[in-house]
């Protein structure tokens, strides 16, 4: 593993292949009967114990995540707190997997929720343990056993999580981690006959291949994929607040966020004023050592990612202004604002996954909605306006799974998260996540001879 801030070796991790993946699935399959047979209260207690154990190791996990993924330590601490909160939230789920009673003739019909079985979890490098926890917690709460395949670039917190799960008392085989390439380990999970479901977070391109591969065995699949989200700012908005919030909505985690509001749509009558307010905010962003308490943005994950992001600075759209980034070792990239950007420009169409914001203008509400929807993606977004009715109209009109008004928040443990269109399908977090890890069974009990 290479540390993105230093380009030095952080750790050596053996690379797994098909054989190791099969062994992990076999362990999960063997552990399944006992895990699903636990009483709801016993499974809930184990998840509470796991949450407590994770909380005890919060700082250790945060530093490990910051170093392995190159994220600011403050962000890493917040993410590890969310991991703990996610397990605490879903520790209540085993005792709340409710069914329905349905009136029928000749007896009683009712539904129960059954676990799927062995679930394969394939997770990305941008929020390694956080996104893993969004899948792990509801899957385990519902009575499934899991095989987690973290991204090859950032497996360290997943491996540590497996150790902490064992320390917290989870039975052997319930949680398994396989570190290897997606083209071998990930593909094997998708194809494996004993894997009932794949939950994937990553690129839309890879998501398409997973959906196609899973179709062969009718595997259940949930996909959380790419985004090209719009931050829509109307002339009557609090421009100072919108400009202050916009940078981290794009540049947080060095822009490596599928929820990044990377298209900033500004009503043309206030475009010049908004850019004047945005520039000092961008230039004040602290980019540097992830372990420095004052750092707000760290490096990109790899040299390859830096090259990919840099390809968007090709002169098609002019650079309006940039922030600063360190020199020397590390995959650094200065936060950059491109303006004016035309709707057909590459930076307005493709997911950058780096710290580049594209500013476009619009004339009225109808054009704002049209531009926001002019993308294959539909994951997140924001609307800034003091006109509450218009803000709600636009929020309903934008084709995206998660949207906020006068803020840039996307994700909460207690609310559903997921996308429209080619941003994926299925929902994570909140009560809805359990639907993706259970099957509904109808039972009819005859009461008449």
pLDDT at 410: 79
- Dump pLDDT digits (tens) for 287-311: 999 999 999 999 999 999 999 999 9
User: Which residues are catalytically annotated?
Assistant: 224, 258
- Dump pLDDT digits (tens) for 58-68: 999 999 999 99
Sorted by sequence, the CB contacts under 8 Å of residue 444 that are 6+ apart come out as 104, 107, 108, 109
The residue among 375, 386, 374, 383 whose CA lies nearest residue 402 is 383
pLDDT at 253: 98
Q: Where are the beta strands (DSSP E) in 150-255?
A: 175-177, 195-201, 220-224, 230-233
As a whole number of angstroms, the distance between CA 270 and CA 118 comes to: 53
pLDDT at 132: 98
Residue 154 in contact with residue 125, Cβ under 8 Å? Answer: yes
pLDDT at 409: 86
Residue 220 in contact with residue 196, Cβ under 8 Å? Answer: yes
pLDDT at 215: 96
What the block records as the tokens of 394 is: 């636009």
- CA quadruple 425, 158, 303, 259: dihedral sign: positive
- Dump pLDDT digits (tens) for 76-134: 999 999 999 999 999 999 999 999 999 999 999 999 999 999 999 999 999 999 999 99
What the block records as the tokens of 265 is: 């749509």
Q: Is 227 left (phi over 0), alpha (psi -120 to 50) or beta?
A: beta
Q: At what angle do helices 58-69 and 73-90 cross, to 10 degrees?
A: 130
Q: Which residues of the chain register pLDDT less than 70?
A: none
pLDDT at 1: 85
């Amino acid at each position: 593993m290479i540390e993105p801030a230093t380009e030095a070796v952080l750790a050596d991790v053996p690379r797994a292949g098909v054989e190791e993946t099969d062994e992990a699935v076999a362990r999960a399959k063997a552990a399944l009967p006992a895990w699903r047979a636990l009483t709801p209260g016993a499974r809930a207690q184990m998840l509470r114990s796991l949450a407590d154990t994770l909380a005890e190791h919060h700082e250790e996990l945060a530093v490990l995540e910051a170093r392995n993924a190159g994220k600011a330590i403050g962000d890493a601490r917040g993410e590890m707190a969310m991991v703990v909160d996610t397990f605490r939230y879903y520790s209540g789920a085993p005792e709340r997997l409710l069914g329905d009673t349905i009136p029928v003739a000749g007896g009683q019909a009712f539904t129960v929720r059954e676990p799927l079985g062995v679930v394969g979890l394939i997770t990305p490098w941008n929020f390694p343990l956080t996104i893993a926890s969004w899948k792990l917690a509801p899957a385990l709460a519902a009575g499934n056993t899991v095989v987690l395949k973290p991204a090859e670039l950032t497996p360290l917190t997943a491996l540590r999580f497996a150790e902490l799960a064992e320390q917290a008392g989870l039975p052997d085989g319930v949680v398994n981690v396989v570190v290897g390439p997606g083209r071998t380990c990930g593909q094997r999970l998708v194809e494996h006959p004993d894997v009932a479901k794949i939950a994937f977070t990553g690129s839309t391109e890879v998501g398409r291949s997973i959906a196609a591969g899973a179709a062969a065995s009718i595997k259940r699949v949930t996909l959380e994929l790419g985004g090209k989200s719009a931050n829509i700012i109307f002339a009557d908005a609090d421009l100072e607040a919108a400009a202050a919030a916009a940078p981290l909505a794009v540049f947080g985690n060095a822009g490596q966020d599928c929820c990044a509001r990377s298209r900033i749509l500004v009503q043309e009558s206030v475009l010049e004023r908004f850019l004047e307010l945005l520039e000092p905010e961008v230039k004040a962003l602290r980019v540097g050592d992830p372990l420095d308490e004052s750092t707000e943005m760290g490096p990109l994950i790899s040299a390859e990612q830096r090259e990919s992001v840099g390809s968007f600075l090709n002169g098609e759209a002019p650079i309006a202004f940039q922030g600063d980034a360190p020199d020397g070792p590390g995959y650094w990239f200065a936060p950059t604002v491109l303006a004016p950007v035309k709707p057909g420009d590459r930076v307005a169409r493709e997911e950058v996954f780096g710290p580049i914001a594209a500013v476009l203008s619009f004339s009225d509400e109808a054009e704002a909605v049209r531009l926001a929807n002019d993308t294959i993606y539909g994951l997140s977004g924001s609307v800034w306006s003091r006109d509450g009715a218009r803000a709600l109209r636009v929020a309903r009109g934008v084709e995206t799974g998660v949207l906020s008004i006068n803020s840039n928040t996307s994700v909460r443990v207690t609310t559903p998260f997921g996308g429209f269109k080619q941003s994926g399908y299925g929902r994570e977090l909140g009560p809805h996540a359990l639907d993706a890890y259970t099957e509904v069974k109808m039972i009819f009990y005859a009461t008449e001879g």
